[in-house]
Chains A and B, each alone.
Chain A
């Protein structure tokens, strides 16, 4: 029985199969069972027919289809007459064989029709015989099925598919009647084979699976191996192919490329995931796993479990997932270590990012034609983005990355373990097929349902392109390659809702933009400068305005010398870098590998902006060390090695090795330093003494000599007021400074003064600068202090219209009066002069041993000076001075001179010894500070201590000689006149001399200077008071 159904033999063999011994014996027994004559006759005929059929079989065996056909024809006739359907069908089948053998190689439709017709009869008669010979112990079903399959095999062509399918379906139906499981198995094998030939892959897979199930019912290792192999053939139809056997991955690739390049048409995306029969796929994989475990094939088991776990983890319970994990581990135990499998298991890996070179080792394309070779090179650094890129968008998305031989590189990948067990990745490293890259493996452990971004690194070892399709992973005891592309496809499907689950999202990892592997190329070694700030790379903590030198050490850590280098500044607060030693860099070139250069850089801490919210907070918590990353300036060093490598001088000239860029951020953390609370202007008025000897004037007439050059005057920085000159008109700038920090500050003020100008034809030539130092002021922490800055030495020697400039002209043109003059004075002019004044005052501070800086007080001073700058800068139109005339020598006390200096050395003081009851000859000096002749009526008053006029009135204590009031004098421009007079004091004591003048016909300048309110108001000039001490007895 079993032998009667050997499917898989070829037609020829099947056709020549003779009925087996048992069948024949059974048939004869039936024949002998009949008793009557007719039955005997019938039996005789039947026997003859059967004999004829047998002879036909032998003829066929002997290779004579014609003879066989003759015998078969006889047998058919006899069997038909006797109703021996079984043998009728057999003989008919034999005749078809003979016919086909006769016309071997021919295929014409008539023959085909004939064969089809005859075989249908055969099948019909086998079925009939089955019903007829119900009592028969031999089932004719097998014959019927066999005949059906034979016909199906004969017809098996695409255009006859419908008929073949019907035949095969009939055959499949018959399988239920087969008692022996192995018969059914063979039947299914044949059906599957025929469906496969027909191109019905799914049908074939279905019956193959039935075969596998029948195999699996046998408790046998060999059967399990067969089951495994049969199932392996179904994987293609069910889209669960192992990558080792699939050629489909290539077509997948093509498809994906198509999608990448073209528009992502939804339908084609859907098409990517046509294998969505997840239930079936899981069942098939489970069966493959089961059969391969039973068959003792650990690699197949591992592969099936890996595919099952990777593709269907969302449909598997955590317990099932753990079971699969242990199946993987168990399988791996039986495998030799280092086994590779084509099917990846877990984890899922996607490219997270492709770090560009850090700014320290950025690569810049070199333009060999220009000296500034980095200019115009494609920006490769971060933050350089332009919405108007030159290339097509497709090209720009594919970035270029350059790696350098011998310099380690990093790639960030994200791993996800969406399953409910701990995943231990023994090693993971980048898979590089180009062979010019050494990847460093690392090991990772992933907790259940977690994702992790890890850094994979390696070193490029030779020049050429590098492709990174994925990672090699040693996990669950087997080495697999995980391709980024697969996960990208998966994520694409997940985004469309076509795939079960996104493994990264279910692990809580944020959705990432699809990162594509850039085009990587490896270039020969380049120099590599490494920067290092001497004294620590941390941020320098500076108070506002602090000036400090920073030394930056640049070392060449590469293997190629640096031959070109250029330093530039970038970033915010560039002006806080006062100086960079460009020359040091230039002179140090070339920097050989291993060599170092130290560059001094002077930086001055910038002011913290008032609008800066950080600073506002810092005001309350002073000393808060806020360092904004973006606010520090950066040194940018462009450097490059030799234009051609020594070994490869013959390489094509176009490929110049690229240069590099080193960005050294000058890390500065600016702390709030001293803050100026306010500045205001004070005036101090001490009257001068009149004496016979006078302090040496700051400059004598016409300012031709300079007394300040004596060393004694500069060393002593105290403000001294000469009693013979007083301090009339001395202004002091008071700065109120508070120290919110936790250190002590010492303030020193220095004033730069342009030396008195030598007036040569009214042009100022010599601008010697002298500095006046003042004693230091110490401000303790949390205290405020006031610093006084004498505003002297600023007065201009001449009062002329240049100060008022254009407005003056305008005023005249419109015939407006001087009252509006000052109002109309443009702010710009004023501000310019204030700025000029301010720039001469420097307030430096020092704190501790090594921090010092300059205080920014410009705004404060400006505010303070805004209103009274004219008083400070402009001289009075007239200056008055008194002196005693004695022994014919003239000693002049010239006080109130605009350029007087109180910084006088201790002159041999001579007290003005004026005796009462003695005629005291005196003279008054009147100096015209303008450039025009001034006519005036001068008057001199003398007051006593009580302030009473002591020249006129009831209690006059002074007799006088000479005119003391209403003296009409004319003073030529920039010159002085003297007027002699004598005083006779009656009462000793202290007196005060005052000179005053009413200027006749004042011009606009004088009016402006005097700030007259109405045009008719007389311009009145008054000198400072002079003290007179009269001794003697009453």
Chain B
């Protein structure tokens, strides 16, 4: 029942044009996945602007991530009426094998890179924090599944179309 209600609310929200740009930034500050998940009309100019905002927000996230143990950092940055929310994952690096810890509380330090997080960043104009948080959590789960793929080189671009479909479905559901 709850599921149906959620769907309804999502459907209602669809009526108003929302902007949402989702991006996954690897620990090397490279975007490894980008998606415009908003329902607003997509203009190329706007899409560029979204990426610029997200790119700029990395500076703030970089500092902020070390001041809190929370994974979900809401409204870390904003420009005009667009808000950046970030979900910071903790990734442990073991030589010879890249292993991902799902649990929030283990913050492990890597010797080589001082930034060890992969960041899921969402640029949005809605204030639906809970929805965003759920969205992040589910996408994180998907991302871990990608990481577990032995053929995936951590830090390289995510090209899986399955992942893309899933993310867009989640965006429709929660945002």
Please give me the residue from chain B that is nearest to A201 by CB atom: B59
Interface membership of A652, Cβ < 8 A: no
Residues 1-41 of B at the A interface (beta carbon under 8 Å):
26, 28-31, 34
Given A162-B63, A267-B155, A280-B48; A206-B53 close (CB under 8 Å): yes
Interface membership of A271, Cβ < 8 A: yes
The answer, among B47, B56, B67, B157, for a CB contact under 8 Å with A497, is B157
Residues 167-182 of A at the B interface (beta carbon under 8 Å):
169, 172-173, 176
A200 and B60 contacting across the interface, CB-CB below 8 Å: yes
B59 and A276 contacting across the interface, CB-CB below 8 Å: no
B56 and A206 contacting across the interface, CB-CB below 8 Å: yes
**CA separation between A49 and B59, bound complex, in Å?**
44
Most chain B CB atoms below 10 A, which of A199, A275, A498: A498
Query: Interface digits, B52-82 against A, CB 8 Å rule (1 contact, 0 not)?
Result: 1101101110011001000000000111100
Please give me the residue from chain A that is nearest to B53 by CB atom: A206
Give the dominant DSSP class at A's interface. helix
- B112: chain A residues at CB < 8 Å are 267-268
A279 and B51 contacting across the interface, CB-CB below 8 Å: yes
Most chain A CB atoms below 10 A, which of B28, B56, B58, B60: B56
B52 and A280 contacting across the interface, CB-CB below 8 Å: yes
B155 and A283 contacting across the interface, CB-CB below 8 Å: no
- B51: chain A residues at CB < 8 Å are 277, 279-280
**CA separation between A805 and B112, bound complex, in Å?**
86
Interface membership of A273, Cβ < 8 A: yes
Interface membership of A209, Cβ < 8 A: yes
A202 and B59 contacting across the interface, CB-CB below 8 Å: yes
CB A287 to nearest CB in B, in angstroms, measures 10
- B29: chain A residues at CB < 8 Å are 274
Query: Interface digits, A141-167 against B, CB 8 Å rule (1 contact, 0 not)?
Result: 000000000000000000001100100
A-B contact pairs, 6 of them (CB 8 A): A201-B59, A202-B56, A266-B153, A267-B112, A283-B52, A496-B156
**CA separation between A267 and B153, bound complex, in Å?**
9
B60 and A277 contacting across the interface, CB-CB below 8 Å: no
Interface membership of A203, Cβ < 8 A: yes
**CA separation between A271 and B156, bound complex, in Å?**
10
B48 and A270 contacting across the interface, CB-CB below 8 Å: no
CB B160 to nearest CB in A, in angstroms, measures 13
**CA separation between A209 and B30, bound complex, in Å?**
20
Query: Interface digits, B131-161 against A, CB 8 Å rule (1 contact, 0 not)?
Result: 0000000000000000000000101110000
A172 and B28 contacting across the interface, CB-CB below 8 Å: no
CB B137 to nearest CB in A, in angstroms, measures 26
- B153: chain A residues at CB < 8 Å are 266, 270, 496-497
Interface size class of chain A, counting residues whose CB lies under 8 Å from the partner chain: 20 to 34
A173 and B60 contacting across the interface, CB-CB below 8 Å: no
CB B93 to nearest CB in A, in angstroms, measures 8
Please give me the residue from chain A that is nearest to B56 by CB atom: A206
B77 and A270 contacting across the interface, CB-CB below 8 Å: no
Interface membership of B128, Cβ < 8 A: no
The answer, among B52, B59, B80, for a CB contact under 8 Å with A200, is B59
4 more A-B contacts (CB under 8 A) besides A165-B60, A267-B112? A169-B78, A270-B26, A279-B47, A280-B51
B59 and A277 contacting across the interface, CB-CB below 8 Å: no
B52 and A203 contacting across the interface, CB-CB below 8 Å: no
Interface membership of B165, Cβ < 8 A: no
Most chain A CB atoms below 10 A, which of B47, B55, B59, B63: B59
Interface membership of A205, Cβ < 8 A: yes
The answer, among A173, A201, A203, A271, for a CB contact under 8 Å with B28, is A271
A residues adjacent to B (C-beta < 8 A): 161-162, 165, 169, 172-173, 176, 195, 199-203, 205-207, 209, 238, 266-268, 270-271, 273-277, 279-280, 283, 496-498
CB A231 to nearest CB in B, in angstroms, measures 13
- B157: chain A residues at CB < 8 Å are 276, 497-498
**CA separation between A494 and B10, bound complex, in Å?**
41
- A176: chain B residues at CB < 8 Å are 80
Please give me the residue from chain B that is nearest to A209 by CB atom: B52
A273 and B30 contacting across the interface, CB-CB below 8 Å: yes
Q: Which 7 A-B residue pairs are closest in the complex by CB-CB distance? A: A206-B56, A200-B59, A276-B30, A270-B155, A274-B28, A202-B59, A203-B56
CB A158 to nearest CB in B, in angstroms, measures 9
**CA separation between A275 and B28, bound complex, in Å?**
9
CB A52 to nearest CB in B, in angstroms, measures 40
Please give me the residue from chain A that is nearest to B47 by CB atom: A279
CB A911 to nearest CB in B, in angstroms, measures 108
- A207: chain B residues at CB < 8 Å are 56
CB B53 to nearest CB in A, in angstroms, measures 7
CB A284 to nearest CB in B, in angstroms, measures 9
**CA separation between A496 and B156, bound complex, in Å?**
8
B56 and A205 contacting across the interface, CB-CB below 8 Å: yes
CB B23 to nearest CB in A, in angstroms, measures 10
A206 and B52 contacting across the interface, CB-CB below 8 Å: yes
A203 and B59 contacting across the interface, CB-CB below 8 Å: yes
The answer, among A203, A270, A276, A496, for a CB contact under 8 Å with B60, is A203
B79 and A172 contacting across the interface, CB-CB below 8 Å: yes
- A201: chain B residues at CB < 8 Å are 59
**CA separation between A270 and B28, bound complex, in Å?**
7
Most chain B CB atoms below 10 A, which of A172, A205, A283: A283
Please give me the residue from chain A that is nearest to B58 by CB atom: A202
- B48: chain A residues at CB < 8 Å are 279-280, 283
CB A429 to nearest CB in B, in angstroms, measures 36
CB B136 to nearest CB in A, in angstroms, measures 21
- A268: chain B residues at CB < 8 Å are 112
**CA separation between A288 and B132, bound complex, in Å?**
36
**CA separation between A276 and B155, bound complex, in Å?**
11
**CA separation between A207 and B56, bound complex, in Å?**
9
CB B81 to nearest CB in A, in angstroms, measures 9
- A266: chain B residues at CB < 8 Å are 153
CB A228 to nearest CB in B, in angstroms, measures 18
**CA separation between A203 and B28, bound complex, in Å?**
17
**CA separation between A172 and B60, bound complex, in Å?**
15
Please give me the residue from chain B that is nearest to A165 by CB atom: B60
CB B119 to nearest CB in A, in angstroms, measures 13
**CA separation between A867 and B93, bound complex, in Å?**
84
- A497: chain B residues at CB < 8 Å are 153, 156-157
**CA separation between A659 and B30, bound complex, in Å?**
55
**CA separation between A498 and B157, bound complex, in Å?**
7
Please give me the residue from chain A that is nearest to B45 by CB atom: A283
- A496: chain B residues at CB < 8 Å are 153, 156
**CA separation between A279 and B47, bound complex, in Å?**
9
**CA separation between A202 and B62, bound complex, in Å?**
11
Most chain B CB atoms below 10 A, which of A162, A205, A271: A271
CB A55 to nearest CB in B, in angstroms, measures 42
- B67: chain A residues at CB < 8 Å are 162
CB B61 to nearest CB in A, in angstroms, measures 10
- B78: chain A residues at CB < 8 Å are 169, 173
A270 and B156 contacting across the interface, CB-CB below 8 Å: yes
**CA separation between A283 and B34, bound complex, in Å?**
16
**CA separation between A110 and B68, bound complex, in Å?**
27
Please give me the residue from chain A that is nearest to B60 by CB atom: A165
**CA separation between A644 and B157, bound complex, in Å?**
61
- B34: chain A residues at CB < 8 Å are 279
B31 and A276 contacting across the interface, CB-CB below 8 Å: yes
**CA separation between A940 and B79, bound complex, in Å?**
139
Please give me the residue from chain B that is nearest to A207 by CB atom: B56
Given A274-B28, A277-B55, A283-B48; A498-B79 close (CB under 8 Å): no
- A206: chain B residues at CB < 8 Å are 52-53, 55-56, 79
CB A200 to nearest CB in B, in angstroms, measures 4
CB A205 to nearest CB in B, in angstroms, measures 7
- B53: chain A residues at CB < 8 Å are 206
Please give me the residue from chain A that is nearest to B63 by CB atom: A161
Please give me the residue from chain B that is nearest to A274 by CB atom: B28
**CA separation between A517 and B44, bound complex, in Å?**
44
A202 and B55 contacting across the interface, CB-CB below 8 Å: yes
**CA separation between A270 and B113, bound complex, in Å?**
12
**CA separation between A200 and B60, bound complex, in Å?**
8
**CA separation between A756 and B28, bound complex, in Å?**
98
Most chain B CB atoms below 10 A, which of A161, A176, A202, A498: A202
